[in-house]
Amino acid sequence: MKSTYIQILLIFTAFVFFGCEKMVEDLNENPNQLTLTDIDAGLFLNGAELSNIGIQLGAYSRMAGYWSGQLTGFEQVELERYQYNVANNTFDWDGYQNVLTPVRQIQDRAVDNPLLLGISKVVEAHLVGTYASLFGDIPYSQALGDIENPEFDDQLYVFEQLQILLDSAIADLEGAAGFGVLEDYIFQGDRDKWLESAWTLKARYFMHTKAYGEAYSAALNGISTSDNNMMFNPLDVTGQNATKNKYYIVLAGSPNTGTGDSYLMQLLDDTSGISRNNAKTDETARRQYYVIDQSDADGNLGVAQELEPQPMITFQENMLILAEAGARTQSFEIGLGHLNELRAYLNTGSFLNANFSAEPYLYEAYVAGDFNSGGMENIDGTDPNTALLREIIEERYVSGFTTYMPFDDARRLRKNDSDVAVPFPLNVPTSTQNVERMLYPQDEVLSNPMAPADPGLYEPTKVNQ
């Protein structure tokens, strides 16, 4: 885990994301002696953010989509992943060096800038929480230190530490009025947006650990409007595909991933036998916006359009945490109220891009009677609370498309809440188990004698046992 190239990596990262000329303009006498202390700590932020974006929206995100009925792999390695044919060498933990290393450098040196300090802690919590959710026990307390072979921390301990880290980030950000940062690719130094993302991350991780009361309380302070969503906003740089939408990049190389006839697409299709469309819900526009056509990268006009922003932490997620956690810990009425707040937002059509905003959509408010036995959201006669939770979870499944939320929910609910979980099918007829976690990276398994035996794809992580 420990790298002998950390200093070189950090300097290179700052060069790439800020520009060599500006950085060395004051090093006229001997620019070859550039060291970390010559570089402003704030110059490491963009590189860490962009590396984290690549992890949040890259191959792991596609695999989570394959393994939760949202995406289909069509060719080559994506078909193999879709069919659960992965090995330890499929995975890596590059984020430890490409994200944690620069943010720790910021934290060591930016003690007088609470805005930069708080942002760096949110980025760290975002990466580490994703790793802990996907892999289970991971190195954290000893990662990047002087210990060559760090121990793997218990997954529950990691989430506890991330709550502490996010509390610290929130305190920093609350005291950061008037401070600025040199560069911030995500929010351009907007303190309020970072603060709301920190609260929504806290709520997300409380959901992972099934601390629903704490999740509800955190989400009350979370992302309050879609204008504050944490998004990857692609750049139109001539001759550069790497700055564009991550699905577009994959499809520009090969027609190997898309929505196909996935369970998600069937849910949104009003002609399918499992359609979620009803008298108060018309998913026509959302379905068209979500379609990813593997056969024509440039023909995609929705979520995979080359410059279409991609979600990471959003108002939709925050509202649905309030809805689910509210229904579980507050009351039926509170949960329904939050669900209807989200539906009111969806009914504006503002979540669509201009290519689909004229297509039909409808999200009228539900009433309590819709969830009574025989109501439009309870045709099987279950109890109203279960019917409401089922609808909220299904909305999380739909609104969470291209994020980890559907995969996280499937694993969270499988053991004790299967009656409200989305029942997507397995991808291979001979398969009998759903994927529960990703495999430890081969490099870590081979190089770190402290690495535990890999439990395999089908062993639930501790938060889901």
* Whether the predicted pLDDT of 25 surpasses 50: no
Mean of pLDDT values over 180-198: 96
CA 402 to chain centre: 8
* Whether the predicted pLDDT of 224 surpasses 90: yes
* Whether the predicted pLDDT of 8 surpasses 50: no
Task: Please report the pLDDT score of residue 35 as a whole number.
Answer: 60
Does this model's pTM top 0.85? My answer is yes
User: CA of 300: how far to CAs of 244, 245, 289, 291, 339, in Å?
Assistant: 13, 11, 9, 8, 30
- C-alpha span between 211 and 208 (Å, rounded): 8
Phi, psi of 363 (to 5 degrees): -140, 75
Three-state DSSP at 150 gives coil
- C-alpha span between 330 and 269 (Å, rounded): 33
- C-alpha span between 250 and 243 (Å, rounded): 12
Q: What is the pLDDT of residues 310-329, one digit of tens each?
A: 999 999 999 999 999 999 99
Q: Say how many residues make up the chain.
A: 465
Q: What is the pLDDT of residues 254-273, one digit of tens each?
A: 999 999 999 999 999 999 99
**Model confidence at 291, in pLDDT bands (50, 70, 90)?**
very high
Task: Please report the pLDDT score of residue 146 as a whole number.
Answer: 85
- C-alpha span between 198 and 211 (Å, rounded): 17
Task: Please report the pLDDT score of residue 7 as a whole number.
Answer: 47
**Model confidence at 345, in pLDDT bands (50, 70, 90)?**
very high
- C-alpha span between 262 and 424 (Å, rounded): 9
In this structure, of 19-23, 206-210, 383-387, the range with the lowest mean pLDDT score is: 19-23
Phi, psi of 282 (to 5 degrees): -125, 110
Q: What is the pLDDT of residues 419-449, one digit of tens each?
A: 999 999 999 999 999 999 999 999 999 999 9
Q: Is 446 exposed, middle or buried (0-12, 13-18, 19+ CB in 10 A)?
A: exposed
Contacts (Cβ under 8 Å, ≥6 apart) of 456: 439
Task: Please report the pLDDT score of residue 156 as a whole number.
Answer: 98
- C-alpha span between 140 and 1 (Å, rounded): 10
Among all chains, which residue has been given the structure tokens 């402290």?
A: 450
Which tokens belong to 335?
């949960």
